[in-house]
Amino acid sequence: LPRVLSGAFSIMRKLDSSPRLARLRTELRKRNLDAYFLPMEDSHFNEYLAAADKRIAFISGFSGSAGTAVITMDEAALWTDGRYHDQAAQELDENWTLMREGLPEVPKLTDWLVQTTPPAARIGFDPQQLLFFAVETNVRDLAQAEAVISSGAAPRQLIPVTGANLVDCVWENWEDAANQRPPRPHQPISSVPVTFAGQTWQEKLDNLRTQMARENVGAVVVFALDEIAWLLNLRGDDISHNPVFFAYLVVTRDVLHVFIDAEREAGSVDLAEYFSCDSHKVELHAYGDFFGWMSELKGNRAIAGAGRIWLAPTASYALMDAVPADLRFTEISPLSSAKAVKNEAELAGMRQSNLVDSLALCDFLAWLEDIKNPAQSPADSACDVGAGSSDLDHSVFNPCGVIADPPKVLNEATLANYLDRIRTAAEGCKGLSFSTISAIDENGAIIHYHVGDSPNPRPLTANSMYLVDSGGQYSTGTTDVTRTVHVGTPSAEQREDFTHVLKAHIGLATVLFPDGTAGTALDVVCRSQMWRARRNYLHGTGHGVGAHLCVHEGPIGLSGRRSQVLTRIGIQEPGIKKNMVVTIEPGYYLPGKYGIRLENVNIVVEAPSMSANVAPTSGPVAPTYLAFEPITLVPFQRKLIAHEMLTPAEIEWLDAYHDLVRRELIARIAHDAGDDGLLSPARQRTRDWLLRQTEPLKMSA
């Protein structure tokens, strides 16, 4: 899944935003404001949003996951990048001006504000929703724009609006109950067994405090939900597809402060009992008390003891402002870095979950290839247990591999639904790690396409190119995999484009690199393969993956854009380390025709030692070199590979990868079959398909 592709592209009726904008402007007048700055993020800066935090969607109708809105007394504008230009054009009504970022004629947000607001304008923002560094950047950019556009005029001001988000003021009092702001979720929380976590929460806390002492830090403030879940060995379901829960932490040298709504739905762990521990003091607070508690820091510096207060550079303006400037220690969160480097138990879980998930996707792809008439699905020999059920019991593993009747009509929506049902019936699957991207033909060229609520999902035809990007959340790990297949006979152009993407994937999958290499450098290694073919892709090459956590995990990423963001904050890009888990996912997108993306999850491992007769790198200490071990085990479709375009080394890697896929998945099929070794017709089909798809390319060439 390419980074920041959490939105859903849906062809829906446009929202009439007039009454909502009118109400918001009433709120502006009450506070003597001339404009309101509305970013996409929530107060934890999650990539995915809970329904209660989708403020831009409420006020504008735009449902994408990247964008910034500004509402003045007369105008409303939305800035979003190239991934969402088409979507925003379809979803915004005539009250909104779409600012297509990246186009030369589009003004900067601050330039536009200077042009559309009066001198001395007061521009409000929610300090819990805007990054501290973003406020500083906007203040500086406003001053520069005023110097050019309205020199000598009274300066415009950014005004933090405390007490309430102004969009929430409108949303929570909306007459139509169906469109009122939903409550913040309080889903059950479960504990993670140490057999998967690898460490108890007490051991993780001790490690954190050791690092705090080393940095002369008296307290660490944690607002990232995946970091909180990882440290505490707890998982929730407050945000779709992300096993996290709403909370804040303040870790001092002797007390762990947990700000959380402890009243949860049935089945939740008893938090008071869970944290009852003589050796580690824990204090539970209400979630809503966090910012009030933090505000006491300005008057009571003793909370942090004698040390500084560690804040991630991505902290909100409200959070950073609560800490006296001389006490701030602003660096990448120590938990973010610790979480990204998996321990042996987590790595074993990631291998297991990706193996199971790969077999589920192979079940789907084998069925898809078996279709003779794409206009209608054939009857399938599904396992009798649960066949055709719309409510599957995911707590019971079914070794048949396929337990749901296939769809009768094949289109983007029915294919996604069928794959989701196959995956969520797999062993240990808790749900999806993101909404499945199921894109046929030209819709595959929309990088973040999701059929969503489209009334006209594109049908599968005998000549369709199909891109499917999907993943699951398992009790032992998280998965993310993309394959592109052709249902019929691919054209020479399609095979050429597919093979260029495959070459780019192999180029990075085979590279060796020094420990600590920046993800930006690895992004270029992969992308340069496409550049040589005069091709490119408008998303990152890869991202970190959590261990039964978020499918997009920091602090690393294989993307030039991430490096640019960190540079603006003044933070050096963290390097890739051994035991991190990352994706490799180059792509190519031909508007109006098709899209291609090939994605594997990989573990970063130490590269094999060099031969004894080869001199190592000169210097006092030879660096450790790293490599990628793929744990996604799904064949690349053979008929789309133009093998004459591959070098001998590329064929060698591909044959070795397919041999690994064959060995691991055939063994898993035998394991699932049990002592009698009997396979269901569906699983037998998958086995036969695997044997065909993993034949050595060297032999056929």
* Domain assignment of residue 75, yes or no: yes
Please list, in sequence order, all residues whose beta carbon lies within 8 angstroms of the beta carbon of residue 86, skipping any fewer than 6 positions away. Answer: 9, 446
CATH of the domain at 571: 3.90.230.10
How many whole angstroms from its chain centre is CA 685?
33
Tell me: do 324 and 358 sit in the same domain. no
* Domain assignment of residue 78, yes or no: yes
* Domain assignment of residue 12, yes or no: no
CATH of the domain at 130: 3.40.350.10
Residue 667 three-state SS: helix
Tell me: do 467 and 325 sit in the same domain. no
Tell me: do 357 and 301 sit in the same domain. no
Peptide bond into 374 cis (omega under 30): no
Measured CA distances, 430 to 422, 423, 478 (Å): 12, 10, 10
Domain end (from 152, 179, 206)? 179
* Domain assignment of residue 185, yes or no: no
Domain end (from 340, 358, 391)? 340
3-state helix, strand, coil in the chain (%, to 5): 40, 20, 45
Domain end (from 179, 214, 248)? 179
How many whole angstroms from its chain centre is CA 631?
18
Whole-number Å distance between alpha carbons of 367 and 238: 34
Tell me: do 83 and 229 sit in the same domain. no
| Six token digits for residue 262 | 């402890």
| Six token digits for residue 379 | 């009857």
Tell me: do 69 and 46 sit in the same domain. yes
Tell me: do 50 and 195 sit in the same domain. no
| Number of other residues whose CB lies within 10 A of the CB of residue 361 | 24
Tell me: do 157 and 199 sit in the same domain. no
Tell me: do 47 and 113 sit in the same domain. yes
Q: Which residues in the chain come in under a pLDDT of 70?
A: 2-13, 298-306, 372-373, 375-403, 453-454, 562-564, 611-621, 699-701
Whole-number Å distance between alpha carbons of 306 and 327: 10
pLDDT value at residue 150: 79
Let me know if 381 is exposed, middle or buried by CB neighbors in 10 A (0-12, 13-18, 19+): middle
Tell me: do 456 and 595 sit in the same domain. yes
Tell me: do 391 and 462 sit in the same domain. yes
pLDDT value at residue 8: 34
**Residue ranges making up the domain that contains 32:** 18-179
Whole-number Å distance between alpha carbons of 594 and 405: 28
Instruction: Give 191-239 pLDDT, tens digit per residue.
Output: 999 999 999 999 999 999 999 999 999 999 999 999 999 999 999 999 9
| Six token digits for residue 418 | 């069928």
Which residues are bridge partners to 514 per DSSP?
625
Please list, in sequence order, all residues whose beta carbon lies within 8 angstroms of the beta carbon of residue 671, skipping any fewer than 6 positions away. Answer: none
Query: Can you state the angle between helices 132-149 and 560-569, rounded to 10 degrees?
Result: 80
pLDDT value at residue 84: 84
pLDDT value at residue 619: 59
Let me know if 683 is exposed, middle or buried by CB neighbors in 10 A (0-12, 13-18, 19+): buried
* Domain assignment of residue 11, yes or no: no
Cβ atoms of 201 and 277 closer than 8 Å: no
Tell me: do 229 and 283 sit in the same domain. yes
Please list, in sequence order, all residues whose beta carbon lies within 8 angstroms of the beta carbon of residue 491, skipping any fewer than 6 positions away. Answer: none
For the chain, the first-to-last Cα distance in angstroms comes to: 32
392 backbone φψ class: left, alpha, beta (φ>0; ψ -120 to 50)? beta
* Domain assignment of residue 4, yes or no: no
Let me know if 600 is exposed, middle or buried by CB neighbors in 10 A (0-12, 13-18, 19+): buried
Whole-number Å distance between alpha carbons of 329 and 221: 11
* Domain assignment of residue 8, yes or no: no
- Best CA proximity match to 161, nearest among 132, 135, 125, 130: 125
Angle at 595 between CA 589 and CA 600, to 5 degrees: 105
Total structural domains within the chain: 3
Whole-number Å distance between alpha carbons of 624 and 514: 6
Tell me: do 399 and 290 sit in the same domain. no
* Domain assignment of residue 100, yes or no: yes
